[in-house]
Structure 1
Amino acid sequence: MNVSTASTLVPTQQASPWYLVHRKLRQDERAEESLLRQGYGRYRPQQNRERIVRDRMKIVVESFFPGYLFVQLAADANWAPLRTTTIAEPVFEVGDSVQYYCRRLCRTGCQFMAMEGEKRMILLLEMLNRQQQIAVPLVSIVKN
């Protein structure tokens, strides 16, 4: 297995942290091109692998981490442009603090609990002096 750097490291700003984003499977090149057009720093490590294609051995280039891509964003950056491409979305961990936008209202202090399918997530928030779990669309969430 040879690891290739066919996808070069393309940073935008030195001080900005890197994030791991999940993307649709088998959409590696498309996701990378979309991020390039939007001006994000991105990195997709690739590897050369031997595969049998039509009864012949061929060397194909594959993503080293299928389904994931590294993106460089400022700490206070808005994830909405990434989500509108429907290619990439932020990876949340249980307990992450998020903001929930519903129409014109913004609810802070919400915690990510779990994903509910691909387009919704379950949040834990305090309402009426009790902690409640609600399912909300992913597009209405901004990671703190």
Structure 2
Amino acid sequence: MLTTCTNGSSWYLLQCKPRQDDRAQINLLRQSYDIFRPQLTTERLIRGKPRRVSESLFPGYLFVHLSNEDNWSPIRSTRGVSRIVEFNHGPAVVADEVIEHLRARCLTPATPDIPELQPGQTLQIVRGPLAPLEGVFLSMMGAERVMLLLQFLNREQSICVPLSDLVPQ
């Protein structure tokens, strides 16, 4: 929820220069600003191997906690920062409840309990356009998707399906 600037200390939204979130975060911390950059740990394929990486929840943005008495001018010239996001001709204030929710979301993993699946295990698709079909489990693709091998259109097809759409046979 974004509102216009009010009195007291609040959280504000900063836009970073392209691909400079890390740089902006480091430089603002060096200047002793209280900042928050929501990040989630996900699994990515890097050079063909699954790796756990930390990614920004909102790429190109971060939050800064400021009061009206704080010196705002260094923020505009901080390396990596593009601008303070404005709404109705004033800095956009982000409600404390939103920041608390984001902090809680980033602290608790969003991954559900993943069933133990073995390569070669038969799984049935129960939702989606391929709902009645069965496939053979090949591998996990991150925490929420599965690579299946289907016999489809007289050929073997590898497809990626959400884990929530599958049940073991």
TM-score, normalised via structure 2 length: 0.44
Q: Is the 8 A contact 1:79 1:90 kept in 2?
A: no
CA distance in 1, matches of 2:40, 2:34: 20
Structure 2 CA distance, aligned partners of 1:85 and 1:28? Answer: 12
Higher-Rg structure is: 2
Q: Pick the structure with more strand per residue.
A: 1
Aligned ranges for residues 1-144 of structure 1 at < 5 Å? 15-88=8-81, 89-93=83-87, 95-96=88-89
Deviation, 1:96, is 0.8
Distance in structure 1 (CA, Å) of the matches to 2:23 and 2:73: 18
Q: Is the deviation greater in 83-92 or in 53-62? A: 83-92
Unaligned runs of 5+ in 1: 1-14, 99-144
TM-score, structure 1 as length reference: 0.51
How big is the shift at 1:42? 0.6
Partners in 2 of 1:25 and 1:80 — Cα distance? 21
| Structure 1 runs, 4 residues or longer, greater than 6 Å off | none
1:30-69 Cα offsets, whole Å, 9 max, x none, are 2111111111111111101111111111111011111111
- Deviation string, structure 1 residues 55-103 (Cα, Å, up to 9, x no partner): 111111011111111101112544320111242220012x3159xxxxx
Q: Which runs of 5+ in 2 are unaligned?
A: 1-7, 92-169
Tell me the alpha carbon deviations over residues 99-136 of structure 1, each in whole angstroms, 9 at most, x when there is no partner.
Answer: xxxxxxxxxxxxxxxxxxxxxxxxxxxxxxxxxxxxxx
